Amino acid sequence: MSGSSPRPPQSTIKDVAARAHVSVGTVSNVLNRPETVSPGTRQQVLDAMKALGFVRHAGAAMLRRSHRTSMVGVIVLNAASPFFAEVAAGAEDVAREDDRLVVICSSAGDREREGRYFVALEAQRVAGIIVSPVGLRVPEVTSLRARGVAVVLLERQHPDFCSVEVNGRGGAEQAVGHLIGLGHREIAYVSPPLDIPQYRQRWEGAEAAAAGHALVHLVRTEVGPLGGTEAGSAAAADLLTRHPEITGFFCANDLVALGLMSGLARMGYRIPEDVSVVGFDDVEGARFGVVPLTTVRQPARELGRRATELMLAEAAAGPDHHHEHVVFDAELVIRESTGAPRTGGRPHSTPPDLTSHL
């Protein structure tokens, strides 16, 4: 006679529903679409699962995974950005080797639009999604994975998901440290809203660089969520009207920086004789402007490649997958848009002769 006790019967969804005093459909929604269930009811169901030792059967998720298509979804903040175009190219490099098609979606910094893309991509039965999230809604993304969709975060880290990012805080510290080292004491950070995680990281890096210098004054101004050249150009006049003492600008991406430089030139400021500008990303246009841009380089294509490799690995492994968090170093690239600050006087009142920089 065996000394082992009989295994207790496994709890079912019906048992969970009965204990939580909800319908079976509500329990199913908590498992598959938690964002559709109120927080109180969701917690009630989760407590019942824990009390009963409920374990979801992996077979159903594996069956859903086996019916996925060869498509891969990539959701970025701005598909028109050269940085995200390079990320997408890296994703395509890896996907092509695996005979997969990449579908690019642009959230335009809109949470609701991002959510609709999640729904649309799942409806197309993509194998996985790489997303640079506007705002990470963990229950929504977790439910996608529970339904067989692998998810990898780009420029955002969370312990429950694979992620790929650059050390944005460290890169920002290098950028502002460079301006401080040149002698700038009045410095502006120009950025899209800080509720976008990577821009908040860069602000924190800028603050960290300035913290050890009592004479450094750091101001911040926000542009639109896409942070393009038009927004950067408009920020030049706004900032220098309110803060004419500023001599150094750190922009959260290169498009903002290039637009800012254009606006400054129209106002008669010379770069770098009157003011200095640093960007972030090192897009192709940063190298070939009339005044080449000092910037923080991100390995954009490699970000896309590595994120896609992680996504495909998770799609293949299923529940046995172990999450990885990959962080690349940022590199300050010094070009001609930065120099020592002016020692006095106002800039030229007429636009400068830009041909002198050719």
DSSP string, 227-295: --HHHHHHHHHHHHHH-TT--EEEESSHHHHHHHHHHHHHTT--TTTT-EEEEEE--HHHHSSSSPPEE
Confidence (pLDDT) at 202: 97
* Main-chain phi, psi angles of 203, to 5 degrees: -65, -40
Cβ neighbours around 240 below 10 Å, total: 19
Residue 297, helix vs strand vs coil: strand
Q: Are residues 109 and 77 in contact, defined by beta-carbon separation less than 8 angstroms?
A: yes
Confidence (pLDDT) at 344: 56
Q: What is the pTM of this model?
A: 0.75
CATH of 68-166+300-328, one of 3.20.20.150, 3.40.50.2300, 3.30.365.10, 3.30.530.20: 3.40.50.2300
For residues 68 and 259, give the distance between their C-alpha atoms in angstroms, rounded to a whole number: 42
For residues 38 and 20, give the distance between their C-alpha atoms in angstroms, rounded to a whole number: 14
What separation in angstroms does the CA of 97 have from each of 65, 124, 350? 20, 21, 54
Confidence (pLDDT) at 163: 95
* Main-chain phi, psi angles of 297, to 5 degrees: -85, 130
Tokens at 240, concatenated: 């220098």
DSSP state of 344: S
Q: Are residues 294 and 80 in contact, defined by beta-carbon separation less than 8 angstroms?
A: no
User: Of 133, 130, 153, 84, which is closest to residue 301 (Cα–Cα)?
Assistant: 84
Encode the chain (358 residues) as per-residue pLDDT tens digits.
Answer: 444 444 456 677 788 889 999 887 788 778 766 777 888 998 998 899 888 877 655 444 444 444 567 889 999 998 889 999 999 999 999 998 888 899 999 998 888 898 899 889 988 889 899 999 887 777 777 788 778 889 999 988 888 889 999 999 999 999 999 999 999 999 999 999 998 889 999 999 999 999 989 999 999 999 987 778 999 999 999 999 999 999 999 999 999 999 999 999 999 999 999 999 999 999 988 999 889 999 999 999 999 999 999 998 888 887 777 889 999 999 999 999 999 997 654 454 444 443 343 3
What fold, for 168-299+333-357? Rossmann fold (3.40.50)
- Provide CB contacts within 8 A for 308, sequence distance 6+: 72, 90, 91, 93, 94, 95, 130, 152
β-pairing, 294-297 with 331-333? antiparallel
Confidence (pLDDT) at 321: 79
H or E element in which residue 148 lies = none
Confidence (pLDDT) at 134: 82
For residues 72 and 261, give the distance between their C-alpha atoms in angstroms, rounded to a whole number: 37
- Provide CB contacts within 8 A for 125, sequence distance 6+: 67, 68, 69, 71
Residue type at position 164: V
β-pairing, 150-154 with 186-191? unpaired
Confidence (pLDDT) at 124: 86
Confidence (pLDDT) at 228: 86
Confidence (pLDDT) at 356: 40
For residues 191 and 174, give the distance between their C-alpha atoms in angstroms, rounded to a whole number: 17
